[in-house]
Amino acid sequence: MLMASAPALALRALALVAVVWVLVAAFPAAAATSAASVNDEEEAVVIEEDDAGSLRITTRDPNSKLFLNGVDVLQQLAEQRALLDQIQRVQCTLAPLIDTTTLAGVGSPAAGLYSNAVRANNGLIYGIPRNADNVVIINPLTNTADTTTMASPALLSASDKWASAVLAPNGLIYGIPGAHEAVLVIDPNTNTFNSTAIVVGEPNETKWQAAALSNEGKIYALPVSSSTPILVLDTATNTASTLPNPLSTIGFAWTSAVTAPNNDRIYGVPYQASFVLILDPATNATDVTTIMGLGGNAKWASAALAPSGLIYGIPLNALDLLVINPFTDTADRVPLSQAAPGTPKWWGAVPLLNSDLIVGIPHAMTSVLVVDTATNATREVHVPGLDTDVYSRFIGGAVSLSNRVYAMPFDEDAILTIDGSCL
């Protein structure tokens, strides 16, 4: 039975945090102890500040309990964690897991509204316009969507404007041109955008789709057409350059790209190509021969990085996950627990925070795909209330700091929200 209220839990948490301050005040000499004293066999407990400024309490036995005036502090923390988990489970039964009505009316249906979304450093989520006349601003704290602050008639002058977007180290969001002639640069600090400063091609020509950020701060966008080069955006200087396209015949070879943190190489996940693109930002070299033999059409349209460092391609027409191992430069196809042949399934891969789960965004499906990257198990969660006449429903999305996923409407007129903490 739940007895503790949210305020009571908050007070308890504050009391537990205060333990640290009590310890520091009670043992000022110990707090200044050097790291060497931790190895002193005569020391029963050491309180010290490490080089990073963190306070560390070290005992000879890692299973020792921590008592303050007779209270077992670690046991109190465990009980509080269990209570919070219990409250979370109750909340998940009361609130809707998936919602398609709260953020409705963001545009005309069947319009190919947005292409993706990015969470900025301020916690707001910005939807990237494909055919919409605005950059939609989603506030997860109020669960509202603003389609007027960053609207402009100029955005109606072109279709298929920007195909994806990346958050750069400078805090700006860079929209990658689909058919627009320039990069979209969004400043979340002022909620303004610029769509003229970085011109990279002719208007109304399909150019790039997938993009990823290298560890050095440059964005690499992969081409849609075999005649288009790889785009390189230097976010430190807001300038663009290009690299040769390693292909000569295949269009829409890769529609998603992920940077592997272990080697800083960018992996292009095959859509029409039968091989993974490996791009090394350190040398600008490209490799299309190491991971091959991945046949099929429109296989995986999106991908995400798992906590393990593996890259997961989410199936559009494929009947399996693509799991790329950047540590060995190999790939496996993992069959879905439930497969739906012949249907464009999911377009968008959103990893949850502090979780092994990746959420697949429903494109033609009426269900969300949930991938447990710890076990490679998959399951589907039904999305209620969808119009069966709509084919391309949602595309791409982003997760809020509270682990709520916001999926962008393609031919729907509402933003899909998914409570990731309840999956």
291 and 366 both lie in a single domain? yes
Nearest to 117 by CA among 418, 399, 412: 399
pLDDT at 79: 80
- Identify whether the C-beta of residue 347 lies closer than 8 Å to the C-beta of residue 301: yes
Instruction: Determine whether 354 is exposed, middle or buried from the number of CB atoms within 10 Å of its CB (0-12, 13-18, 19+).
Output: exposed
Give the DSSP H/E element, type plus range, for residue 409. strand 404-409
CATH number for 312? 2.130.10.10
89 and 111 both lie in a single domain? no
Beta strands in 225-328 (DSSP E): 230-234, 239-243, 254-259, 266-270, 277-280, 285-287, 300-305, 311-315, 320-325
Say how far apart CA 333 and CA 60 lie, in whole Å. 47
Mean model confidence pLDDT for the chain = 88
161 and 197 both lie in a single domain? yes
pTM here is: 0.83
179 and 223 both lie in a single domain? yes
Residue that is last in its domain, among 73, 94, 115: 94
386 and 353 both lie in a single domain? yes
236 and 357 both lie in a single domain? yes
Say how far apart CA 278 and CA 288 lie, in whole Å. 7
Residue that is last in its domain, among 77, 94, 111: 94
266 and 315 both lie in a single domain? yes
Tokens of 157: 């002058």
Nearest to 228 by CA among 259, 202, 266, 198: 202
pLDDT digits (tens, 9 = 90+) for 102-152: 999 998 877 899 999 999 999 999 999 999 999 999 999 999 999 999 999
Question: What is the sign of the dihedral through the CA atoms of 240, 246, 251 and 255?
Answer: negative
pLDDT at 389: 77
Output phi, psi for 204, to 5 deg: 65, 25
Asked if residue 14 is part of any domain, the answer here is: yes
74 and 176 both lie in a single domain? no
Residue that is last in its domain, among 45, 62, 94: 94
pLDDT digits (tens, 9 = 90+) for 33-43: 444 444 445 55
Asked if residue 1 is part of any domain, the answer here is: no
Give the DSSP H/E element, type plus range, for residue 136. strand 136-139
73 and 123 both lie in a single domain? no
Q: Which residue range(s) make up the domain with 87?
A: 6-94
The total domain count for the chain is 2
The residues near 321 (Cβ < 8 Å, ≥ 6 apart) are 312, 313, 314, 315, 333, 334, 335, 336, 371, 376, 378
- Identify whether the C-beta of residue 261 lies closer than 8 Å to the C-beta of residue 305: yes
Alpha helical stretches, state H, 251-358: none
- Please tell me the number of Cα atoms within 13 Å of 389 on its side-chain side: 2
Low-confidence stretches of the chain (pLDDT beneath 50) = 1-40
124 and 81 both lie in a single domain? no
182 and 74 both lie in a single domain? no
